[in-house]
Structure 1
């Protein structure tokens, strides 16, 4: 029994009801009462408020049995929209989703500068356009979340972005001053982990997601919350040293994990062997289909070093689910099986190790999901994932 201030209890009940409506997709008032253990009077009162706010809509379910047609409740996905932004090294991706987390549109612009003022100007320009375009919906843009490929403090200031060489940058306040609305910053790997939890792995409370693209990031969800560390910098696992005295890293150390087990490291090795610059995924896919010996050797080395780091992560965190996000691994035959074969320690315990099915979109979809979570004031969402190749 929840006791305390009446307004607080009402807020908790509202959150519980919204979460169950989202989880079920369509649900009746009677079933809501059964699932939540709230009285029918409480359900009726809360639903009346949600209907008035246009956050929930009613649908009369068609059926052939005798009696009244049941009236089902669902979240009004078109009441507002979430804007997720992935601020990556060479490009910015803007994805707009409805309140059900379903992508409505996505666009990517190339970055030809790392200058803070220039990138700030571009962000303001594009965000303003989205705000104007969707201002006619009931709630417009309900939240803006930007994924940062670097260190983001608990106060959402950017401490360091290695690729941009941004240090102690207050992008949040600069954007909010220009836009007149709240903006949230979050580490990109955290958002990828959040997307995996919200859209795919509904059943777990503890999940690790390692992203292997330009570097290696680790998103950690423990007891259904981000694990951030003292200042918010937890998860910079790419700078765990696995080869003492090894390859120099931008962080200042040598032998960091991402110098051996990120996709960037694979492309660098292939460029050296093939004497070709800017190798693409399609070229790698073609070489794999041709059973190219160089590519297979580089990929096997990639998996070897990747497994060393994953072994460390598993032994340190004892996670329920470990998700590895890599396009190269998705195209390499038996990649997951090879990783499993390398994790043969008797003290390593985890329930599931899997490759991400969302892929590179996980970061920006996680940003949309986080914006929705904050708007609806629901601690955790369970949303279906609908893959759309054109977004």
Structure 2
């Protein structure tokens, strides 16, 4: 039983109402009362407050029946903006969304340095530019979330980024000192999982998202919440050993999963076998379409090792939904069927296995939606946008370590 003083109960009711207004898009006061079970007096007080704060707006719905047209409520999507940032190895992507998670602009800048101070300067410069652009709105930028391709602690300190060789960097504090906004710092795989749940799989409370680019990261949603582990290190499944005494890994072990099933390793091995140093995704697509004997064997091996790791994860978590974030798998039309054919264990159970529609955009979309959820202080967030509205981020060739 939830107990608390009047202010606490009011806050709970407020967050519940906002969630339902977002979920239903347009909804009347009477409908809100039915949906939430709250009485009309409570609805009226809460709605009045939200209207005064300009978080919601009223519109009169057209109808052909006699009587007064119903007044509908919806979220004021332009009251503020969320900024999602994907801090990758060779590029930084900035995506600005409205309060319904609709992306308004997306910019990608090349990153030719791993020097922390230089990267910090680039981040601050671009964040300040977005702050200025959004200054005329009621709330401006309501939140910033940055996705890190590395290990982030529970208190949002960057513990280790292999590609940049960063250790124990307090990016959150450094950005706040220069912009006045303290961004949330999250692991990119966690943001990918959050995006899948918020935008595409509303009813899936137990969801795993496996990102397969420069390494392998696992985003975990359990009972509708991100699971980050005791210190925030959960999901580093790329360092699960699948080949005893196998290929050496930067983590210090041998035979780690990402040494066999990450796209960066795929590119490295294919480059050696094709004797070509500048292989692109377009090259691979052309070889898949031909087909090419070398690419066929490499894809077969890649899917074999990928399936071994997935089998372990499925047995560990028993997920409802598994989303694979991979450009390679999107190019290979039979990839999901081939993976499923290898998941033959009678104890491996899951409901759905699919390739992400977001691809490289998943991190920034998850970052924007998490910023919105934090700002509105709501228990759950369900957003809907069309695939063609998702900003397309240029996909660089993964860099192997």
TM-score range, shorter chain: over 0.9
Match of 1:319 in 2: 319
Match of 2:280 in 1: 280
Q: Is the 8 A contact 1:200 1:385 kept in 2?
A: no
Tell me how far 1:183 sits from its aligned partner.
1.1
SS at match of 1:77: coil
Separation in 2, partners of 1:269, 1:8 = 57
Match of 1:134 in 2: 134
Tell me how far 1:195 sits from its aligned partner.
0.2
Tell me how far 1:108 sits from its aligned partner.
0.4
Q: Is the 8 A contact 1:102 1:386 kept in 2?
A: no
Unaligned runs of 5+ in 1: none
Matches within 5 A, 1:294-333: 294-333=294-333
Q: Is the 8 A contact 2:227 2:234 kept in 1?
A: yes
Separation in 2, partners of 1:74, 1:333 = 40
Separation in 2, partners of 1:68, 1:96 = 38
1:376 aligns to 2:376 (yes or no): yes
Aligned length: 391
SS at match of 2:54: coil
Match of 2:88 in 1: 88
SS at match of 2:297: helix
Unaligned runs of 5+ in 2: 393-401
Match of 1:216 in 2: 216
SS at match of 2:143: strand
Match of 2:260 in 1: 260
Tell me how far 1:379 sits from its aligned partner.
2.1
Deviations 1:176-215 (A, max 9, x none): 1111122110000000000000000000111110000111
Deviations 1:268-309 (A, max 9, x none): 111011111131111111111111111111111111000000
Tell me how far 1:65 sits from its aligned partner.
1.6
Normalised to the residue count of structure 1, the TM-score between the two structures is 0.98
1:292 aligns to 2:309 (yes or no): no
Tell me how far 1:357 sits from its aligned partner.
1.2
Tell me how far 1:390 sits from its aligned partner.
4.8
Tell me how far 1:4 sits from its aligned partner.
1.9
SS at match of 2:367: helix
Of residues 362-371 and 262-271 in structure 1, the stretch that sits farther from structure 2 once superposed is 262-271
Separation in 2, partners of 1:199, 1:8 = 29
SS at match of 2:78: helix
Match of 1:345 in 2: 345
Q: Is the 8 A contact 2:103 2:390 kept in 1?
A: no
Separation in 2, partners of 1:68, 1:106 = 42
Separation in 2, partners of 1:116, 1:283 = 33
Match of 1:110 in 2: 110
Deviations 1:137-171 (A, max 9, x none): 00000001000111100111011001111011111
Tell me how far 1:2 sits from its aligned partner.
4.6
Separation in 2, partners of 1:340, 1:346 = 13
Deviations 1:195-247 (A, max 9, x none): 00000000011111000011100000111211111111010000101111111
Separation in 2, partners of 1:380, 1:115 = 38
Task: Please report the RMSD computed on the Cα atoms of aligned residues, expressed in angstroms.
Answer: 1.0
Separation in 2, partners of 1:285, 1:204 = 32
Q: Is the 8 A contact 1:249 1:256 kept in 2?
A: yes
Deviations 1:360-386 (A, max 9, x none): 111110000000000000122000032
Match of 1:67 in 2: 67
Q: Is the 8 A contact 1:154 1:232 kept in 2?
A: yes
Separation in 2, partners of 1:278, 1:13 = 56
Tell me how far 1:173 sits from its aligned partner.
0.8
Separation in 2, partners of 1:266, 1:67 = 66
Of residues 82-91 and 288-297 in structure 1, the stretch that sits farther from structure 2 once superposed is 288-297
Normalised to the residue count of structure 2, the TM-score between the two structures is 0.96
